[in-house]
Structure formats: C-alpha cells, structure tokens
Structure 1
Amino acid sequence: MTPETRIAQWLLASVFVVAGGYRLWQALHGVPTGNNTLLLSTGELLLGVLLAAGWRLRALALLAAAALLADAALSHPFWKFSGGAQAAQLLQFMKNMGLVGGLLLLSGAGGTRRR
C-alpha cells in the first residue's frame, strides 16, 4: 500500500474513532445516553480501530461504506426540508457521500495480495 493510501486509511478511520469515542466519552461523563446509542457508538469506535489497523481492510471498508450510506439516508433526509434546514441536511448528506467514496477507494486499494 502506498504511503498516501495508508494516510487516507487512517484519516477515514479517524472519523469513526472520534465520532464513536466522543459519544462514549460523554456518556462516561454523565451525559444521558440511550443503550442503542452506546451500542452503536461502541461499534463505530471498534470499526474505526479495525480500519486503522488494516484488519480485513477490503471487507471492513465496504461495511463502513454501507453503514454510512444507511446513515446518510436515515439521518439526513434533506429532501424533507426546505430553506436553511435543507441546506444543512444536504451538507451532512454529501459529507457522508464523500466518505463513502473514500471508503470505496480504500476497499479497492486493500491490504491483501491478490492471486
């Protein structure tokens, strides 16, 4: 893997580590957090750590891309809004799409040898 691809791998992984880790950190410091959020945040943190480590990189990058596609559609339905709210949701939706693109590229660059 090229140095540029490795850096991209770590940057993409950092999104999951920071997002999941931040919510878990807040829960540890008394912020009310539901069990589903705790479970998803733990999974997100683990996904980021495994991506950073390069464990089963191709499959994990595809799994992360699918999760972000679902998150974009479920959490940022810009088509249901108008005005400033629509712009804010569209921005978050497109951020997720950019991350999906990076994860798809990473899945193609994966860390395993082809035969």
Structure 2
Amino acid sequence: MDNRSLATTARTLMASVFIVMGLYRLLTAWGGTATPTATLVFSAVELVLGLLIASGWKLRWTAGLAALLMAADAAMSHPFWSLAGAERGAQLLHFMKNVGMIGGLLLLIAHAGHPPRR
C-alpha cells in the first residue's frame, strides 16, 4: 500500500469514530430516546466533522475542531479522577482513547496539505 492510500485509510478510520457515534446518538434520539439538546448538538457536530475529515475537506481546520471536541468530551464525559475502583479504570480507558484520538488528529493537522513521501 502506498503512503497516499495509507494516509487516506488512516484518515477514514479516524473519521469513522465521529461518524458512527454521532449518527448512533442522533438515530437513538430519533427513535424516541429522551436526549438532551446539548447531546443532539454535540452529536450533529461530531457527525459533520467526521464526514468532513473523511472527505479531506479543509483538513487542518476540521481536524483542529475535532481535537477540541475530543478534549472537551474527555474532560466532561470521562472524569476518572473523581471515581474509584473499576469505574475509575473504565473511565480512564475512555479518557485515554480520546487522548489517543487527539494525537492522531494532531498528526492530520501536521501533515495536511503535504504530499506524502516516497
């Protein structure tokens, strides 16, 4: 697999997290599950950012927004520091998943617009 194909695959896999989770929460709400307005807005933004990242549109800008979204989600949704026991470990895992995604998004920002090396 050449570098361009590898980069496209990696970008699409990263975007899939935003697309799947945003769409899942929106469809769940559409199906009748009571969902706070803030969650609906967050999910819609997440879905759109995922689609934009997958398409490569203004990648630095969209990856930057997605990184900020992941940082906010990590801090607000996964407060492992205030928990104990198994619950702390579970939330730490989700928090670190977000941190890893932020790292990948920063790589997208760093390499967006640069032709792949041979």
Query: After TM superposition, is the score higher than 0.5?
Result: yes
- Aligned partners of 1:107 and 1:87: how far apart in 2? 30
Q: Which runs of 5+ in 2 are unaligned?
A: none
Q: In percent, how many aligned pairs have the same letter?
A: 50
2:77 is aligned to: 75
TM-score (norm 1): 0.91
**Bigger relative contact order, structure 1 or 2 (CA pairs below 8 A, ≥6 apart):** 1
How far the C-alpha of 1:112 sits from its partner, in A, is: 6.2
- Aligned partners of 1:7 and 1:28: how far apart in 2? 30
1:76–1:92 CA contact under 8 A, matched in 2: yes
User: Residues 31-46 of structure 1: matches in 2 within 5 Å?
Assistant: 31-46=33-48
Q: Which runs of 5+ in 1 are unaligned?
A: none
Moved over 4 A (4+): none
1:20–1:42 CA contact under 8 A, matched in 2: yes
- Aligned partners of 1:49 and 1:106: how far apart in 2? 15
Q: Secondary structure at the match of 2:34?
A: coil
How far the C-alpha of 1:34 sits from its partner, in A, is: 2.0
How far the C-alpha of 1:111 sits from its partner, in A, is: 3.4
CA-based RMSD of the aligned residues comes to: 1.4
Number of matched pairs: 113
